[in-house]
Chains A and B, each alone.
Chain A
C-alpha cells in the first residue's frame, strides 16, 4: 500500500495518474457504450425477448432459427451480390478516374470538384433523389433511354433490375474513393517514373510496375473499407425499395433492423448482428490473407 503511494508520488507515478486522467473519457465511454453493449449482445444471443414480456432463455434457438430462415439467406445473398459487384466495380472505376484526374490538363481542379460532389450528398437526400431518377415513368434514367429509342426499364418494380439500379446509384458516389487514390498518386515521387523511363518503360509498363505497386496499400485499404461498408448498407434499401420487389433488395442490415425494431425479436436480431460481425471479420481476414501479401509497403509504419 505504502509502496504504491510512494510510487504515485514519483514522477513516473504522477505521469501515470495524469495520463489516465487524459484518457479517462475514452475508458469510461468504452465501458459504457462498447463493453456493456457487447456483453448485452452476448446475453441477448441466448434469449427470446420482445422488450415487453420478460425474456426467456432459448439456448442456441436463435442460431437454429437462422439456419431455417429463408429471409436470412435471402438477405445474405442480396448483400453478397451487391458487395461482389459494387466493390470491385467501384474500386476499378475509382482508380481509373483518379488516374485521369492526375493528368495535367486545363481545368482539372474543376473536374475534380465535379466528380467529387455527388459523394457528399447526404444519404437520405441521395435516396430520395435516386427514387426519382429510377422512377419507371418519368425518372431521368428512363427519360434518357426513351430519348434514344430504348424501352423503359421498371427499375424498382422488377426483381432483376432493383439491385443493379442500386449498384448504379452507388457508382455515382465514386468520387469519395477517387480523392483517396488521388492523394496517393500525388505522393508517388516523380523520380520513380523517370527511372522507369530510363529503363525504357512505356506508359503501360509504368502503370503496371510503378503506379499499381506503390498504390497497392491504398487500393487494399479501399477494398477492405468497401467490403465493410457495403455489408452495412441500409438507407437505400430502406428508403427507395423497402427491401422489395420480392425481397430483391432485402439487405442484411435492413432485415436485422426489421427483426429488432418492427418484429421486436431482440434475441434473433442480436444473433443476426453477431453473425454479421463474424462474416465481416472473416472477410477482412480472408482479404488480408488472400491479397495482403501482394500489397507493397515501401516502409514500415
Chain B
C-alpha cells in the first residue's frame, strides 16, 4: 500500500469514529433532554392532578396520609354538591351574559376603530394612535379608585354596567392595536377595487375587512372570553349582591365560607378551570397566536 492510500484509510477511520461519537453524543443529549422534560412535566401536571383528584374524594379521604392519587371511591357527587351549595348556575348565567355582551362590544367596537387607524389617512390619526398605545401602557389598577368613584356617581355599583359598558367604547386599546396590525396586512388592492365599484368605507369595513379578519377576530374573541371568565377585580369591586356574582366572585366567596371543605372547593375550582381548558384545546392555534401577538408585537 502506498503512503497516500494508508493516510486516506486512516483519515476515513478517524472520520467514522468521530461520526459515531457525535451520534452517541446526540443520542445521550436527547436522553438527558427527555428526562428533564419528563420530570418537568410531572412537576407541572402534579398540581392539576392533585386538584382533580381531591375533587373526587370523600371528605375524610382528603386528609389521608399517604394520599391516594386515584381516589377510591370516586365521588362525582362532590361536583353536584359544590355547584349547588352556592347557586353556581346563577353565577355561570351571569358570567355568560357578560361574555356575550363583551364579545359584541369588543368585536364590533375594536374592529371599527382599528379600521380607521389602519386604512384611512386623516390629520390627527397618528396622534390618536399614539394615545391608544399610551393607554395600553398605563397599569389598570392606577385608575381603579377614580373609576369606582365615577361609577358610583352614575349609580352603576352592583350592576353589570361597569363590567361591560366601557368596552363598547373602543373595545380595549390592546384589541384595537392587534386588529389594526392585522388589517394592515390585508392587500390594499381589494379595498381599491371595491372603492371603484362605489363601495363606501363602511362597506369595505363590513363586507371586505371583517370577513378577511376572521383569524384575528377569533383570537380577540378567545381572549375576551378568557378575560371575562377570569376577571376577579372587576366583579369584586362592582358586584355586591350574590345573585349578581360571576363565577370567579362566587368561587372566592365559596372559599371564604367553606374554607375546610377542600373536596368541594377543588370540585368548584376544577369546574371553573374546565371551560378554559376546553377553549384552549378547541382553538389552540388562535390561542397560542394570541399569546405570541401579545408578547412579540407589544
Residues of A within 8 A of B (CB): 12, 15-16, 18-23, 25-30, 32-34, 36-41, 44, 51, 97, 100, 103, 105, 108, 111, 113-118, 120-125, 128-133, 135, 137-138, 140, 143, 146-147, 172, 175-177, 179-180, 183-184, 218, 221-222, 225, 228, 231-232, 234-235, 239, 253, 256-257, 260-261, 266, 269-270, 273-274, 276-277, 280, 284
Q: Which residue of A has the minimal Cβ distance to B290?
A: A179
User: Whole-angstrom distance between the alpha carbons of A97 and B270 in the complex?
Assistant: 26
Residues of chain A with a CB closer than 8 A to B169's CB: 25-26, 28-30, 32-33
Q: Are A120 and B276 in contact (CB under 8 A)?
A: yes
User: Whole-angstrom distance between the alpha carbons of A281 and B298 in the complex?
Assistant: 17
Residues of chain A with a CB closer than 8 A to B135's CB: 30, 34
User: Whole-angstrom distance between the alpha carbons of A100 and B34 in the complex?
Assistant: 9
Contact of A273 among B144, B229, B296 (CB under 8 A): B144
B277 interfacial by beta-carbon distance below 8 Å? yes
Most chain B CB neighbours (cut-off 10 Å) among A29, A266, A280: A29
CB contact list, B70-125 vs A, under 8 A:
109, 112-113, 115-117, 120-125
User: Whole-angstrom distance between the alpha carbons of A149 and B54 in the complex?
Assistant: 23
B193 interfacial by beta-carbon distance below 8 Å? no
Residues of chain A with a CB closer than 8 A to B229's CB: 122
Residues of chain A with a CB closer than 8 A to B152's CB: 51
Q: Are A276 and B142 in contact (CB under 8 A)?
A: yes
Q: A124-B232, A231-B139 are in contact. Are A131 and B255 (CB under 8 A)?
A: yes
Q: Are B230 and A15 in contact (CB under 8 A)?
A: no
B22 interfacial by beta-carbon distance below 8 Å? no
Interface pick from B10-18, B45-53, B213-221: B45-53
User: Whole-angstrom distance between the alpha carbons of A45 and B166 in the complex?
Assistant: 24
Contact of B150 among A37, A172, A228 (CB under 8 A): A37
Q: Are A132 and B143 in contact (CB under 8 A)?
A: no
B80 to chain A, nearest CB (A): 18
Residues of chain A with a CB closer than 8 A to B33's CB: 100, 103, 105
Q: Are B291 and A22 in contact (CB under 8 A)?
A: no
Main SS class of interface, A: helix
B163 interfacial by beta-carbon distance below 8 Å? no
Q: Are A140 and B125 in contact (CB under 8 A)?
A: no
Q: A122-B229, A138-B63 are in contact. Are A37 and B146 (CB under 8 A)?
A: yes
How many chain B residues have a CB neighbour from A under 8 Å?
89
User: Whole-angstrom distance between the alpha carbons of A32 and B166 in the complex?
Assistant: 8
Q: Are A129 and B296 in contact (CB under 8 A)?
A: no
Main SS class of interface, B: helix
Q: Which residue of A has the minimal Cβ distance to B131?
A: A30
B138 to chain A, nearest CB (A): 7
Q: Which 4 A-B pairs have the closest CB atoms?
A: A22-B116, A29-B169, A180-B295, A19-B122
Residues of chain B with a CB closer than 8 A to A260's CB: 144-145, 148
Q: A18-B201, A111-B37, A222-B295 are in contact. Are A129 and B269 (CB under 8 A)?
A: yes
User: Whole-angstrom distance between the alpha carbons of A284 and B34 in the complex?
Assistant: 38
B228-240 CB mask vs A (1 if < 8 Å, else 0) is 0110110001000
Q: A128-B251, A270-B146 are in contact. Are A121 and B36 (CB under 8 A)?
A: no
User: Whole-angstrom distance between the alpha carbons of A113 and B66 in the complex?
Assistant: 29
Q: Are A172 and B44 in contact (CB under 8 A)?
A: yes
Residues of chain A with a CB closer than 8 A to B47's CB: 118, 129-130, 133, 140, 172
Contact of A239 among B201, B255, B272, B296 (CB under 8 A): B255
Q: A16-B123, A25-B112, A179-B288 are in contact. Are A38 and B146 (CB under 8 A)?
A: yes
Q: Are A123 and B248 in contact (CB under 8 A)?
A: yes
B265 interfacial by beta-carbon distance below 8 Å? yes
B191 interfacial by beta-carbon distance below 8 Å? no
Residues of chain B with a CB closer than 8 A to A266's CB: 145, 149
Contact of A123 among B67, B230, B237 (CB under 8 A): B230
B265-289 CB mask vs A (1 if < 8 Å, else 0) is 1101110110011001000100010
Contact of B139 among A34, A120, A228, A261 (CB under 8 A): A228
B147 interfacial by beta-carbon distance below 8 Å? yes
User: Whole-angstrom distance between the alpha carbons of A70 and B240 in the complex?
Assistant: 31
Most chain A CB neighbours (cut-off 10 Å) among B120, B166, B266: B120
B204-230 CB mask vs A (1 if < 8 Å, else 0) is 010000000000000000000010011
User: Whole-angstrom distance between the alpha carbons of A34 and B30 in the complex?
Assistant: 53
Q: Are A40 and B146 in contact (CB under 8 A)?
A: yes
